Structure 1
Amino acid sequence: MPGDWPLVGRTEELRLLAERPAGAVLAGAAGVGKTRLAREMVANAGASVVTRWVTATASARDLPFGAFGAVLDGVLPPAANLLGHAVEAVRTGARPSGTLVAVDDAHLLDDHSAAVVHQLVVRGVATVVLTLRSGEPTPDAITALWKDGHLPRLELQPLSAVETTVLLEAVLQGAVERSVARRLWELTQGNALYLRELVAGEQEAGRLRPLDGLWLWSGRPTLSPGLAELVQARIGSLSDAERDVVELLAFGEPLDPALLCKLAGNDAVERAEVRGLVVVDVVRDEVRLAHPLFGEVQRARCGVLRARRLRGRIAEALAGAGGAQAEVLRRGVLAMESDLTPDPDLLTVAARTAAGRADARLAERLARAAIAAGGGFAPRLTLASVIVGHAGGADEELAELTANARTDTEHVQAAALQVDAYAFMTGRPELAGAVLARAQGAVAGRAASTELDALRAAVDAFRNGGAATAALAAATLAEPGLSDSGVAHASWALVAAHGLRGRLDGLELAEQSGVAAARRSLDLGWMEIPIRAWHGMALLLAGRLAEVELIGRELTERFGEMPLANGACSLVNGRVALTRGHVAEALRLLREARAGLAPFGPAGGWMFACLADMTIALAQSGSRGPARQTFAELAALPPTGLAALAVEGALAAAWVEAADGALSTAVAHTRHAAELAADRGAQEVMALHTAVRFGDRTSAERLAALATRVDGPFAAVAAAHAAGLATDNGAALTAASREFEEIGVLQHAADAAAHAAAAYTRKGLRGSARTAAARATALAERCPGASSPALRGAATPLPFTEREREIAMLVAAGLTNQAIATRLTVSVRTVEGHIYRACGKVGVNDRAALAALLRDGSER
């Protein structure tokens, strides 16, 4: 890290300081950045002024003129009017442009030094910048400077979350994963000094490190000695009663004020508030530590036995405070780590709550504690579910759970878990089908059989998601008495099947029904993520991007703190950005998604979808090498068994080929994707329109038919784009471009405009061609870093046939004639002939000159 961190978030303060020739008083809490801002002002003053930097200290406070000792050493005569001599001595060597005096920690000035500063300001003989700590006793002469209006007082606030992220990325010289930036801000509360110490310590410990261009942070922070000392200095010495308050909050915050007072005493809590150690939120009626790092320091200083006793006291006090899920979870965690006798029922409910919030690791700890305390089937069910979720398998645990099922309800619960494990987590839907068959033979009642139908619909949706799946899911949802698990699984199946087919009627209602069921059950909270994510996918395919963005924001707000869920949320948001053409933003979000998903393996196909989108984004950015590398990672994943993902894999392969210019091969991949999307019209539209973007003129009739069956604006515009391309109709292509822009898919709009420019050019309409090309360029500029075959063609309008351009682009990509022949399944002689004719058309002599002509400078 650099020695001096860049100054962030102080633009307004610097502007105000530049406008105030007399100077200013910079006040704020310790570490907020007062000294850094003062140094920036001194640096901005330049060499044209004489600068004096004075640091006041507690040790020099008892000495007359102590802060100015270095400046006045040997200057002051043993005479009267020492103050006047001191002021002149400070100004010694002043230049016509003036003198700048910066006083750091002015609240520690002795009275004589304070009087010097006062005179410098009042007489207007120097620009003076002071820093002082808010809330500390300050000499009257200094206080008078802003009270009497001589200097403005600026109360510096901590950095905001956004400013903290900007600062981190400037210091670390790279993108910081958003949850990492948020955690660092939450811990430091925007205190720049604390942030610097924390980042340095975590880097040195190897927990804060870059991966694939993204800074990640694993584990809990360990306070470095320097940071612990800074925080302890701010806390100050504590009485025993005050220490109790701080420690109780360190292990149990937030706490109800009445409960905290009962545990620590009214006087102690009131003193802690007056000293600024705790803050009371009157709206939420809760007490928290004034700074998160206070808790980190106190926990680090607390002995193991005392910590266990404190947690036990808090857990017992919370037992009578209500039964909200959050309180039960908090009480369960405290009890698990306390000296109390374990309560299996409490630990079981806490484990289920943690699992429902997608905190798998905490749920596993609580479930194991519940089992150890004598819990039965319920905690084992939770344990198996979270092991499956973050360990990607646990076949033994699942088999044991099934063997211990006795009632219809338990058989269905065990089957549901195995279905979720095999179909959604590990991509083995054939095993899920076998599980359902066995469970069907084990249950006796109709209600249980209906529950299994809901699971069967979910498996079918995972495998194919066609009309039959939608019908089964709808029929199951219509059955009375369906459990929350049945409603959640059948709703997910209906959302996925209808959405991929492009049928939006009733989709929102199905989503709401499934989400409500998931939220009602402690065990099903995680299902809200796939239900809403698949609804978002349906809306994305339909071209209703604003609604998908809303889903992405809501999922992030609700689940963004939970590891697997955070990765899934970033994937949803990254997919929207990619569809809009915001490729750089999409890559950042998708890298965050991959980092969040990595510890969980290929769970639920999330990683497959992430790598497929990353491949496409990299290809669209022109990063051919990284795109191929990411596609290789994608190809190495185990099969997901999810038909919808097979389509995305084929499209990723198409974009890799297109990035190199092998458009005929790319189109073949898109047609294969369209075949895979049979009975899923919305996905077929996406696949066929990708072929159109690559210049395919054969998809217009099929897209026109699909546009009559697929809901949403996208299919109709895709069909119009295909028809315009097939008929070489520049006006129709321009109209399609405008409609794509209205939907918000800017790169699609740019491609249609580029196709329009080419169509006009072929018809000799040069003015219209220039207008369309300008439109394509303007749209592309709104998609920073994005590229596509259509845009590259518009940028280099050369008189080639489609095959000549394809081969010329592969030459520019660095492929040999033999490699091109293999790639396109033609003979080397055919490749040589096309290169010869292309060279002749543009007046170059060999393939090297042809490559130089076409190369766009985007090689990576």
Structure 2
Amino acid sequence: MEYSRVLIGEDTRNSRRLWGETNALVATPTDAITEIGRILENPAKSGAVVSGPSGSGRRASVEAAHSQLIDPQRLIRLNGSSFGQKMPMGVLAFLLAQLETTERPSRHELVHGLARALCPDGKASVVLLGKPELIDEESGSLLAQLAAMHKIKLIVICDEIQDLPQDILSLFRTGQMEHVSISRMTTLETRAFLESELQGPISAFAASTLQYLADSNRGLILKLSRIWISNGQLSQESGTWILRNLDLGNGAAVQTMFNSMTSGLEDSERVLLYALAMGGAVSRDMVHRSEQTEAMDQLIAKDHVKVVPEADHRVMIAIPLLRLMLRQNIDPDMERRCNEVVAQLHKDPATAVALSGMSILSDLGQNTELLVIAERYSRNGYASEKWVEAPFARIRILKLHIRVLLLQGDIPAALRLVQEAHENLRSAIDDAWSQDRLLRAQQELELLAQLVDSAQAETIAGAEEKTVDETPVHLKGWMTRGLHLRAMALQSTNLAARAHQTDALAIVDHIGNELRTRRLGMAAYGGMCADDLGEIEEQLLLTEMLCGKYAEALVRATELAAGKFANPQLIARAESHRGILFALQSDHERALKILEPCLWQALQQGESADRVAMEAVVSHALMGLGRRTEAAELLAQEQEESSVTGLVNFHSWVAEVFSSMSLAAIGSSALAISKLVSIADRSRASGYLTLEMGSLACALRLGYEDNDSRLGAVAAECQGDTAEMYAELAKHHHGEPADLFAALRNLVSAGHLLMGAGPGNALVSSLTTKDQRKLAKLVGTLKRPAYLADNNRADAPDPAKTGAPTWAGELTKRESQIALLAISGKTNLEIARVNGVSIRTVEGHLYQVYSKLQVRNRQELTALDRASRRAAGQL
């Protein structure tokens, strides 16, 4: 991914999409609208075929392109239908009724009559044809002929090219009609679309949840968002739209939407649809065996159901929102009938129903409801005699259950559950005549046990020191490639947390290469589903963060936040990781912009692993931007919450580091250093050497003496470039300023910008003024590279052309404006009035200006400006 920083230009649509920017995606014209408009204006073209999935905005793109024409043609909308398909020229019935023809006109009369009606004064009308697969061949032939004669511009909307009628397909193959393909909105585009519609920022979880439920269908997204707004479920908090709860409710609007989605269904189709909603996806072979083929085909034709070839041709409900509504609107009689079909479709109906309910609840983060189903299932679901039927479905249920228990901190319950399941599974293996599937399930359980052990190691009270399993994973005999890669990903995280960073990063590279070379569908990943792949990616992200590879971690976090996997919970966690990584690179503005919506959303969802970390980062960012009152309130709240937690992990380390720096900023340096030494001691007790090393380095930044060179001793135990750079820092922090500058420069160049950023940095303060300026320039350069694509700089003039000082390039557009006004002699009040902001905002921007340029006041800023202009020959 590193090459993309060079090849993808700054402030382009691709750079915004790649690096998670949504603020200008809507303002940029889409390629599809531009292409359709070009075709409509080209007299040599007969029209276009606009293909893409339902709800992707195909019709809206055509309408938008037509409305943007200077002299638009008349637009006629035609749609195929099941009724019209059975009638000769049914789709053209309305147009034919306007012609004066004989009782049985010839084709010649029909063509010329339609041509006169559709091309008056030689100006061809635009005919927009939807659902072409549901029109009769004669109508398709007439439309193709009129398009070939350039009497109409034929725009056909379809899902696939093969849906076209024969004559229109022939016209397309001759090249007279162009092809425009439109895909579903990505997560970033959905978020930008919602922010444009709702006139305000929206949290990543709220946007991705709407996208997930509506399967990226624009119309459904808007309907559901409006219903939730009217019910108060989607509301604004400090200007950000957040999702308070996911209850669909039974209001009139919800019921109307449900009725419109299920209207026109036959009784057999409705029963199968309910069965798929209750029992989950099933292989197409099982549908055939249960004699539900006709109902399945009809549901597929009506876009209610889809078949996924990559997942063993599984049949599933296409839109998760419909699945939720069906589960919510089932009556006792329908439940009895659909249970009979579920029993025909699944070998273990109870397990299928439990897994179906828990899967969608897990994706949406409804952990309380998930636990109710999981605990009810665990009473008898893991008995030894049960494991022979659907062992992998049981493993998935167990995995979902364990994850919620770990999230809530109930590690003893998770241990008991894994041990009980393991004992019963071993008993089932001993009694079974065919053991392959059960042995694979046993290896899945071993991975779960390792996950629980890692979580147990994070607790301080009563935790035992654990040794890292250094046995090469490929020697352990994993039964599938998927199990192998997942085990390697988990091992990489354990290695990274302790003293084996080089080995951990080698595993990350190996897994990355494996996944890149095996992108042939999910079946090629050894039975892994999208959830397993997302789990691997998240483990690799944590590994990179623990190894101090913040730049690489930012790339991976942005990919996940941009919707690489359609899981709202994963997207929300990746978005919070992006904010934390920007904070670790000393970019307060961007960290605050990302994390404030994440934090408001997290406060609505209860306890989460990264909530305290987000609060600490936000309070520090507010402090850095001059909003000290808000920062102090949040810091006090965060101190109360962090005092009761005893976990040691990456998030608790981030919380302690940033809360310590906030304390140091308000004058409590001794307390801040004490907190950092404390988290270092706790990290040592739990075996997390990388966190101990990072804590001690941040303590040095705040003025910790480290006379016994503890940082150097810890760095000597660890592997990799990061440990070597921290060892150099420990060696030279009391030595010559030139050597210390070299150590800090290496750390900053490697992505550890926090170690070289000021103010309040005791290490930087011990450097010479010249070296401080060099380091500040390096931090400013690396903190705002081209791939950030800051929208504020999109239309910023070139300093060389405007006569602005050279140092203006290190500031944002607003900071540069305020700095120039301050140099001109204006007071803070006058600057605030000119820019339409508060005095506090002006003070915050000036604070950033002084920090970035390493000056202390306006006099030094003016002197720097004069020196800069004199050097440029502008005085």
Deviation at 1:21, TM superposition (A): 0.8
> CA deviation digits over 1:366-389, x for unaligned, max 9?
53587799x9xx9xx999999987
Tell me, yes or no, if the aligned pair for 1:158 and 1:191 is still in contact at 8 Å.
yes
**1:159 aligns to what SS in structure 2?**
coil
Q: Is 1:367 aligned to 2:370, yes or no? A: no
Partner of 2:104: none
Q: Is 1:470 aligned to 2:465, yes or no? A: yes
Distance 1:841 1:31 in 2: 58
Amino acid in structure 2 at the alignment position of 1:25: A
> CA deviation digits over 1:690-743, x for unaligned, max 9?
3555688888966445543454433442454576675564575256424542x3
Q: Is 1:40 aligned to 2:64, yes or no? A: yes
Deviation at 1:305, TM superposition (A): 1.2
**2:69 aligns to what SS in structure 1?**
helix
Partner of 1:128: 153
Q: Is 1:299 aligned to 2:326, yes or no? A: yes
Partner of 2:641: 637
| Aligned 1:537-556 pairs, distance under 5 A | 540=545, 542-545=547-550
Distance 1:66 1:841 in 2: 78
Of 6, 9, 15 in structure 1, the residue corresponding to residue 35 of structure 2 is 15
Deviation at 1:41, TM superposition (A): 1.5
* Deviation larger for 773-782 or 494-503: 494-503
| Aligned 1:389-400 pairs, distance under 5 A | none
Instruction: Give TM-score scaled by structure 1 length.
Output: 0.58
**1:677 aligns to what SS in structure 2?**
helix
Partner of 1:615: 619
Give the direction of change, closer, same or farther, for the CA distance of 1:171–1:500 in structure 2 (3 Å limit). Answer: same
Distance 2:696 2:277 in 1: 57
Partner of 1:420: none
**1:308 aligns to what SS in structure 2?**
helix
> CA deviation digits over 1:574-600, x for unaligned, max 9?
544543556666557655764675467
Partner of 1:489: none
Distance 2:179 2:643 in 1: 64
Tell me, yes or no, if the aligned pair for 2:701 and 2:763 is still in contact at 8 Å.
no
Gaps of 5+ in 1: 73-79, 322-326, 338-349, 402-407, 414-453, 475-493, 512-525, 797-808, 816-836, 845-860
Give the direction of change, closer, same or farther, for the CA distance of 1:332–1:582 in structure 2 (3 Å limit). Answer: same
Give the direction of change, closer, same or farther, for the CA distance of 1:709–1:617 in structure 2 (3 Å limit). Answer: farther
**1:184 aligns to what SS in structure 2?**
helix
Distance 2:260 2:455 in 1: 58
**1:708 aligns to what SS in structure 2?**
helix
Tell me, yes or no, if the aligned pair for 1:198 and 1:224 is still in contact at 8 Å.
no
Amino acid in structure 2 at the alignment position of 1:781: R
Amino acid in structure 1 at the alignment position of 2:725: V
Deviation at 1:642, TM superposition (A): 2.0
Amino acid in structure 2 at the alignment position of 1:543: G
Q: Is 1:241 aligned to 2:261, yes or no? A: no
| Aligned 1:771-790 pairs, distance under 5 A | 774-782=777-785
Distance 2:401 2:265 in 1: 46
Give the direction of change, closer, same or farther, for the CA distance of 1:624–1:121 in structure 2 (3 Å limit). Answer: farther
Amino acid in structure 1 at the alignment position of 2:34: L
Tell me, yes or no, if the aligned pair for 2:585 and 2:783 is still in contact at 8 Å.
no
Q: Is 1:209 aligned to 2:231, yes or no? A: no
Give the direction of change, closer, same or farther, for the CA distance of 1:120–1:192 in structure 2 (3 Å limit). Answer: same
**2:74 aligns to what SS in structure 1?**
strand
Distance 1:582 1:838 in 2: 22
**2:246 aligns to what SS in structure 1?**
coil
Tell me, yes or no, if the aligned pair for 1:498 and 1:504 is still in contact at 8 Å.
yes
Deviation at 1:210, TM superposition (A): 3.8
Tell me, yes or no, if the aligned pair for 2:48 and 2:178 is still in contact at 8 Å.
yes
Q: Is 1:651 aligned to 2:675, yes or no? A: no
Distance 1:71 1:771 in 2: 81
Give the direction of change, closer, same or farther, for the CA distance of 1:53–1:299 in structure 2 (3 Å limit). Answer: same
Distance 1:676 1:578 in 2: 19
Partner of 2:48: 25
Distance 1:619 1:32 in 2: 43
Amino acid in structure 1 at the alignment position of 2:336: R
**1:737 aligns to what SS in structure 2?**
helix
Distance 2:216 2:712 in 1: 55
Q: Is 1:163 aligned to 2:189, yes or no? A: yes
Partner of 2:127: 103
| Aligned 1:373-772 pairs, distance under 5 A | 462-463=459-460, 469-470=464-465, 540=545, 542-545=547-550, 575-581=580-586, 586=591, 590=595, 594=599, 598=603, 601-602=606-607, 606-619=610-623, 624-637=628-641, 639-642=643-646, 644=648, 651-656=657-662, 665-666=668-669, 669-670=672-673, 672-674=675-677, 677-678=680-681, 680=684, 682-683=690-691, 685-690=693-698, 693=701, 703-704=711-712, 706-718=714-726, 720-721=728-729, 729-730=737-738, 733-734=741-742, 736-741=744-749, 743-748=750-755, 762=769
Partner of 2:215: 189
Q: Is 1:256 aligned to 2:304, yes or no? A: no
* Deviation larger for 754-763 or 273-282: 754-763
Gaps of 5+ in 2: 1-24, 101-107, 387-397, 421-450, 470-490, 509-530, 792-806, 816-827, 833-837, 841-855, 864-875
Amino acid in structure 1 at the alignment position of 2:584: T
Amino acid in structure 2 at the alignment position of 1:745: H
> CA deviation digits over 1:251-304, x for unaligned, max 9?
323123343334444444455556665444455344424622684498279651
Tell me, yes or no, if the aligned pair for 1:461 and 1:497 is still in contact at 8 Å.
no
Q: Number of matched residues?
A: 674
Distance 1:332 1:772 in 2: 57
Tell me, yes or no, if the aligned pair for 2:745 and 2:775 is still in contact at 8 Å.
no
Amino acid in structure 2 at the alignment position of 1:470: E
Give the direction of change, closer, same or farther, for the CA distance of 1:140–1:814 in structure 2 (3 Å limit). Answer: closer
Tell me, yes or no, if the aligned pair for 2:261 and 2:322 is still in contact at 8 Å.
no
Give the direction of change, closer, same or farther, for the CA distance of 1:50–1:814 in structure 2 (3 Å limit). Answer: closer
Partner of 1:52: 74
Deviation at 1:608, TM superposition (A): 2.9
Tell me, yes or no, if the aligned pair for 1:54 and 1:68 is still in contact at 8 Å.
no
Tell me, yes or no, if the aligned pair for 1:329 and 1:354 is still in contact at 8 Å.
no
Deviation at 1:52, TM superposition (A): 2.5
> CA deviation digits over 1:236-257, x for unaligned, max 9?
6343333333332233231233
Tell me, yes or no, if the aligned pair for 1:209 and 1:217 is still in contact at 8 Å.
yes
- Taking only the aligned residue pairs, the percentage that are identical comes to 15
Amino acid in structure 1 at the alignment position of 2:284: P
> CA deviation digits over 1:449-476, x for unaligned, max 9?
xxxxx999988863379xx9537999xx
**1:744 aligns to what SS in structure 2?**
coil
Distance 2:159 2:568 in 1: 39
**1:25 aligns to what SS in structure 2?**
strand
* Deviation larger for 693-702 or 195-204: 693-702
**1:637 aligns to what SS in structure 2?**
helix
- Cα RMSD of the aligned pairs, angstroms, is 6.8
**1:218 aligns to what SS in structure 2?**
coil
**2:127 aligns to what SS in structure 1?**
strand
Distance 1:409 1:703 in 2: 39
Deviation at 1:221, TM superposition (A): 3.6
Give the direction of change, closer, same or farther, for the CA distance of 1:113–1:713 in structure 2 (3 Å limit). Answer: closer
Amino acid in structure 2 at the alignment position of 1:11: D
Q: Is 1:330 aligned to 2:330, yes or no? A: no
